[in-house]
């Protein structure tokens, strides 16, 4: 009995066991069905979504930065080019401890304190997870050494990059300018102009000079590569490629050798020189002294050099030719004479008596020559540079007539030269004064203020490029061209050249005989007048005019140069054109605190003209110069 019960129990247990097993099997099937449902959901229903995500994972668009266009002088001399070199770059976002990483790097390659400082500065300025250079210009040995240690430095990479280089260094630095790393302000502007997409991947942008003003030409069109990337963001292979279009090459009107001659001629003096081809407006030389080495700026200037440049009393970063405003001094006189003729206030032969001063409203305006020039006609007034003659003339013309005439020569307006940052200068007039001042008693123009305007003093303030444009216009018989630095834009691919057309801005209506007279008088300056010493023995005929711009009024005292501090000394000016019959070059020279124009500015003009017209190098620049005197 008992045994039967057990057997029955046993079979019942087996039945229950199998029931439970069946339940478990049902459980297995249910869960597998659930899995299958999930697979169908992922692989069929949501397939598109996940396929897109996988593609987005896989494919990355990498910009390919175009080669920047070259900048060449009119003879094909290279002013700015690119070369390829290794840099060591850190992506800060991928590095946990920057300091430790840099310290460890320093054991593998040289990392100077200068490099660290620059890196820190870039770090402060950088906006995203871009890689920043800790070292540039790695030598092959250093590159190899890093490559061997690469595994120790995640987030640090060696990159072959194109660098901008300015082979002529300081020469023409104010013209060519420089590029620098794109900063927040540049980015903002790129976004505003809708240019940003073309700058994906670009690290540099023109900051100053031609590099800035022709940025669009020089930059080129960024290419794109579709690359397959792995989870670490490393490119595995290229799927498609739209090649970049290199930037266009620029050929300047500038003559690099002439530029150098002009720069050398300044010696240690501060100042500016602009030489223009009168028939086209092409700028042949554009000097602002002192200059600076633009190469310092390309990779971000280190604080030490920056301080030195920025805090220097000589202000080397200031583009004097473009932004500096100076009274023209006596170089204003030929235009005054022309105004008198054109407006019928004087004839060529009318004379005045010059006692050495002109009295107006109880105030005595002195002539720079004590005792005066005696009987002075218009020719003599230019050649000998009589102040009294022009005091009287200004008084007779009145301020608004002077301003109206001078405006035609471009005084007081931007020339529109093709680099940015030009100053306007001041062409004084009643209207200008009203605009300039706020208090009513200051707004009024006093007749006494007109007197010194006649000799290029008073409120007169013009940029050297305005002075050059004016003399070029005069040399070109009144036809004015907008000065321009760039002559050709050369399409990178095709080599097709597009000329920057000379743009005649206006023709100043001048009677030929008046023009001819003023030019003749200016030739007289260089032959027998204030420029005669500087131009003694010249093998060409040139016209010129000296000028001396007072830095501060000596209120009736006699100006004694030696007693005045160097920086308060007068500025020395000279304008010139040559050859006189058919001018090929017109220029304006300004030497800050150079004293009399005849003494410092005129010899610089002479050297420039000698080189341009005769190919004659100044002695200091001649190969194997035999030591004579110093340059004159």
Partner 1 sequence: MPLIRRLWERLILHLDGFLLFAAGLLMLAGLVVLYSAADANLSRVTGQAVNMAVALAIMWLMANVPPQHLARMALPLYALGMGLLIAVALFGEVSNGARRWLYVGVTRIQPSELMKLAVPLMLAWYFDKNEATLRLRDYAVAAALLLAPLLLIFRQPDLGTAVLIAASGFYVLFLAGLSWRIMAGLAVAGAAAAPVLWSLMHDYQRRRILTLLDPTQDPLGAGYHTIQSTIAVGSGGIAGKGWLKGSQTHLDFLPERTTDFIFAVYSEEFGLIGNLVLLILYLLVIGRGIVITANAPTFFTRLMAGSITLTLFTYAFVNMGMVAGILPVVGVPLPLVSYGGTSMVTLLLGLGMLMSIQTHPKLVKT
On whether the CB atoms of residues 458 and 402 are closer than 8 A, the answer is no
What span, in angstroms and rounded, lies between the C-alpha atoms of 473 and 466?
Answer: 10
- Residue 33 CB partners (closer than 8 Å, separation 6+): none
Distance of closest approach, residue 128 Cβ to partner 1, in angstroms: 17
330 is catalytic: yes
On whether the CB atoms of residues 291 and 315 are closer than 8 A, the answer is no
On whether the CB atoms of residues 338 and 331 are closer than 8 A, the answer is no
DSSP state of 616: P
Contacts to partner 1 by CB under 8 A:
13, 16-18, 20-21, 24-25, 28-29, 31-32, 34-36, 38-40, 42-44, 46-47, 49-51, 53-55, 57-58, 228-232, 236
DSSP string, 575-603: EEEESSSS-SEEEEEEETT--STTTTHHH
What span, in angstroms and rounded, lies between the C-alpha atoms of 387 and 609?
Answer: 28
On whether the CB atoms of residues 446 and 433 are closer than 8 A, the answer is no
SS3 content of the chain, % helix, strand, coil (to 5): 40, 20, 35
Which residue lies nearer to partner 1 by CB, 47 or 83? Answer: 47
What span, in angstroms and rounded, lies between the C-alpha atoms of 253 and 184?
Answer: 33
**Radius of gyration (Cα) for the chain, nearest Å?**
37
On whether the CB atoms of residues 456 and 550 are closer than 8 A, the answer is no
What span, in angstroms and rounded, lies between the C-alpha atoms of 367 and 370?
Answer: 6
Q: Indicate which residue of 202, 213, 246, 330 is catalytic.
A: 330
- Residue 500 CB partners (closer than 8 Å, separation 6+): 418, 484, 486, 487, 488, 489
What span, in angstroms and rounded, lies between the C-alpha atoms of 229 and 67?
Answer: 25
What span, in angstroms and rounded, lies between the C-alpha atoms of 312 and 309?
Answer: 6
- Name 376's bridge partners: 352
Q: In sequence order, what E strands does 428-555 have?
A: 479-481, 486-490, 497-499, 504-507, 543-549
What span, in angstroms and rounded, lies between the C-alpha atoms of 531 and 599?
Answer: 9
Distance of closest approach, residue 502 Cβ to partner 1, in angstroms: 58
Sign of CA dihedral 384, 386, 387, 389: negative
What span, in angstroms and rounded, lies between the C-alpha atoms of 500 and 252?
Answer: 10
What span, in angstroms and rounded, lies between the C-alpha atoms of 124 and 353?
Answer: 69
DSSP string, 335-387: HHHHHHHHTTS--SS--EEE-SEEEETTEEEEPSSTT--EEE-HHHHHHTT-H
Which residue lies nearer to partner 1 by CB, 237 or 558? Answer: 237
CA 41 to chain centre: 62
**Residues carrying an active site annotation:** 330
């Amino acid at each position: 009995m008992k045994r039967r019960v057990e057997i029955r129990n046993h079979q019942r247990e087996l039945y229950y066991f199998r029931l439970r097993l069946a339940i478990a099997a049902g459980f297995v099937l249910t869960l597998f069905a659930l899995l299958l449902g999930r697979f169908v959901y992922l692989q069929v229903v949501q397939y598109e979504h996940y396929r897109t995500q996988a593609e987005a994972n896989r494919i990355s668009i990498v910009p390919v930065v175009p080669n920047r266009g070259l900048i060449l002088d009119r003879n094909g001399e290279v002013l700015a080019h690119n070369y390829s070199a290794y840099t060591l770059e850190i992506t800060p976002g991928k590095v946990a401890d920057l300091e430790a990483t840099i310290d460890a790097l320093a054991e593998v390659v040289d990392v100077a304190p200068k490099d660290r400082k620059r890196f820190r500065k870039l770090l402060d300025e950088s906006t995203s997870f871009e890689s920043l250079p800790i070292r540039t210009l790695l030598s092959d040995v250093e590159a190899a050494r890093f490559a061997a240690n690469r595994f120790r430095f995640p987030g640090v990479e060696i990159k072959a990059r194109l660098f901008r280089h300015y082979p002529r260094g300081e020469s023409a630095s104010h013209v060519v300018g420089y590029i620098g790393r794109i900063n927040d302000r540049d980015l903002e502007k790129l976004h505003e102009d809708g240019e940003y997409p073309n700058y994906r991947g670009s690290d540099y942008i023109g900051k100053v000079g031609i590099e800035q003003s022709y940025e669009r030409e020089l930059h080129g069109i960024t290419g794109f590569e579709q690359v397959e990337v792995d989870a670490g963001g490393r490119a595995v292979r290229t799927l498609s490629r739209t090649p970049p279009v290199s930037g266009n090459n620029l050929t300047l009107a500038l003559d690099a050798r002439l530029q150098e001659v002009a720069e050398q001629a300044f010696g240690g003096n501060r100042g500016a020189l602009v030489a223009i081809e009168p028939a086209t407006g092409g700028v042949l030389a554009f000097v602002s002294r002192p200059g600076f080495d633009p190469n310092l700026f390309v990779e971000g200037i280190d604080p030490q050099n920056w301080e030195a440049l920025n805090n220097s009393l000589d202000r080397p970063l200031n583009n004097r030719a473009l932004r500096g405003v100076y009274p023209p001094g006596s170089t204003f006189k030929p235009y005054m004479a022309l105004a008198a003729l054109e407006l019928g206030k004087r004839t060529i032969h009318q004379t005045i008596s010059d006692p050495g001063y002109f009295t107006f409203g109880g105030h005595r305006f002195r002539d720079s020559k004590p005792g005066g020039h005696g009987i002075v006609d218009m020719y003599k007034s230019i050649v000998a540079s009589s102040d009294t003659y022009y005091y009287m003339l200004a008084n007779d013309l009145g301020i608004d007539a002077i301003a109206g005439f001078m405006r035609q020569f471009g005084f007081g307006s931007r020339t529109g030269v093709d680099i940015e940052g030009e100053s306007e200068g001041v062409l004084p007039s009643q209207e200008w004064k009203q605009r300039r001042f706020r208090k009513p008693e200051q707004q009024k123009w006093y007749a006494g203020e007109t007197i010194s305007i006649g000799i290029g003093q008073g409120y007169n303030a013009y940029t050297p490029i305005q002075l050059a444009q004016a003399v070029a216009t005069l040399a070109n018989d009144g036809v004015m061209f907008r000065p321009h630095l760039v002559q050709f834009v050369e399409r990178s691919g095709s080599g097709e050249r597009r000329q920057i057309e000379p743009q005649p801005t206006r023709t100043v209506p001048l009677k030929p005989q008046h023009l001819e007279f003023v030019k003749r008088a200016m030739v007289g300056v260089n032959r027998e007048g204030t420029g005669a010493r500087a131009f003694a023995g010249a093998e060409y005929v040139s016209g010129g005019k000296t000028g001396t711009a007072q830095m501060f009024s000596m209120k009736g005292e006699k100006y004694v140069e030696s007693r005045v501090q160097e920086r308060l000394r007068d500025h020395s000016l000279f304008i010139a054109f040559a050859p006189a019959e058919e001018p090929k070059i017109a220029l304006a020279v300004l030497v800050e605190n150079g004293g009399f124009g005849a003494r410092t500015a005129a010899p610089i003009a002479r050297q420039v003209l000698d080189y341009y017209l005769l190919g004659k190098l100044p002695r200091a620049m001649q190969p194997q110069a035999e030591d004579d005197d110093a340059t004159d």
